[in-house]
Amino acid sequence: MPMRYVLLALVLLALLALLPRNQQPAPASSSQDVAAPVDSEFKPPRLQTPAADDAAGMSGPDVACVPDPDDVETWPPEPTPEEKQAAIDVLSRSDLAEHQLAAIIMGRWPGMKPFSSHDKLLALDQFVARNPQDSIAFFSLLNTCRDFLHEAACADQRLHAGIRRLHDDNSEAWALLASYRASLNQEDAALEALGRAATATVSDSGIAAKLDLLERAYAAGGGFSIVQRLMLAWGDIAAEQGHWLPIYRTCKSRAESDLNWRRLCLDYARRAERQVKTVGAEVGALALQRTLAEFSGDDDEIAAIEIRLDDVRQVIDVSSSKLLTEEAINQAYLEAFAVGGERAALAVLADEVARRGPAKPCPEPE
């Protein structure tokens, strides 16, 4: 399996490992960053392609064997750093704003070598100044500000104005601002922002939109297959720190002794669990709820959270990511992610695994 997918799997496994369990569940495998419960009306698309239909028929008593995907190396070569850099060079010279933004997220901007986190902050700030309505760019700037709160680009007034302009009903943006204000000891302002996070009707860090942006940018910047484009895009996304970590740390440090913080942190975490678009953010919301339940000594709530965490573990399946070597499945995966979040995208893979049936071991060659 390419290193990009291995890294993503390890990140999520590490998140799950942070959470103690009362009992050991059945072994479960893992995958990309993370998603919220899917709208009950969302149905993963059935793949109407000859390749998919042929594969779906590769089971039953008349089939001699169906190799286990894990036994077949079908991944294309992972793009080299030089190939990625060549694509970034093309994008950074483009007149299209989305190509310029993609180049920044990918990790390079002309005249900045090596491209540090501070370089990225400055490049994002300049981009947002030129493109004030770009919500992807602003959220990336907001997330990058965690390490640069005393920089002009991260001034509270500027971040607050940007959230009101582009993410006014987004709990994840308000939660980041709450954590930043808390780190600057602006307690009342932090609680005000957390209150907004706890009542927002959207919880979206923009990963689906960013995945689409990067995939299209790599298509424009180089001769990569869709599989390679997704490898690169997921690698770029995985390189960015989880947006929920600052509020988790803030709530953990304050909610044990402050009931106002505990109440608002819990309201936010419950809302985020229901609304987030990725599995990683869902795990983050559950991790926060578990910590708060421990502060309250609520064993029943801890047990209920464990059940929901086990559900997340069952959703994640690294082996099914082998299906992402197929172009039609990649397209269906991206479409499902855009509509229903990562759980919906993973459901596409699970549905296809079920359609193909279990592997039938092939005999060893003589």
Prediction pTM value = 0.79
Is 142 a domain residue? yes
Residue 360, classed as helix, strand or coil, is: strand
Query: Does residue 5 have a pLDDT over 60?
Result: no
Is 115 a domain residue? yes
- Per-residue pLDDT, 322: 66
Is 355 a domain residue? no
When pLDDT is cut at 50, 70 and 90, the band that residue 199 belongs to is very high
CA 168, chain centre distance (Å): 21
Provide the residue range defining the domain that includes 150: 78-166+206-241
289 close to 266: Cβ distance less than 8 angstroms: yes
When pLDDT is cut at 50, 70 and 90, the band that residue 267 belongs to is very high
Backbone angles phi, psi at 146, to 5 degrees: -55, -30
Burial 128-139 (b: 16+ CB within 10 A, else e): beebeebbbbbb
Is 137 a domain residue? yes
Instruction: Classify the C-alpha dihedral 276-281-282-285 as positive or negative.
Output: negative
Is 178 a domain residue? no
Query: Going by C-beta distance under 8 Å and a sequence separation of 6 or more, which residues neighbour residue 322?
Result: 1, 69, 70, 72, 74
Q: pLDDT by residue (tens digit) across 239-259?
A: 887 889 999 999 999 999 999
Q: How far is 333 from 349, CA to CA, in rounded Å?
A: 7
Total number of domains in the chain: 1
309 close to 300: Cβ distance less than 8 angstroms: no
Is 265 a domain residue? no
When pLDDT is cut at 50, 70 and 90, the band that residue 233 belongs to is very high
Q: What average pLDDT does this structure show over 187-195?
A: 98
Query: Does residue 18 have a pLDDT over 80?
Result: no
Is 67 a domain residue? no
Q: Specify the amino acid at residue 130.
A: R
Is 228 a domain residue? yes
Q: What average pLDDT does this structure show over 169-175?
A: 98
Q: pLDDT by residue (tens digit) across 95-114?
A: 999 999 999 999 865 555 56
- Give the count of alpha carbons within 13 A of 223, CB side only: 0
Q: How far is 193 from 184, CA to CA, in rounded Å?
A: 14
Q: How far is 230 from 240, CA to CA, in rounded Å?
A: 16
Q: What is the DSSP letter of 95?
A: S
Query: Does residue 12 have a pLDDT over 80?
Result: no
Q: Specify the amino acid at residue 182.
A: A
Q: pLDDT by residue (tens digit) across 118-160?
A: 999 999 999 999 999 999 999 999 999 999 999 999 999 999 9
- Please state whether the peptide bond connecting residue 246 to the residue before it is cis, i.e. omega within 30 degrees of 0: no
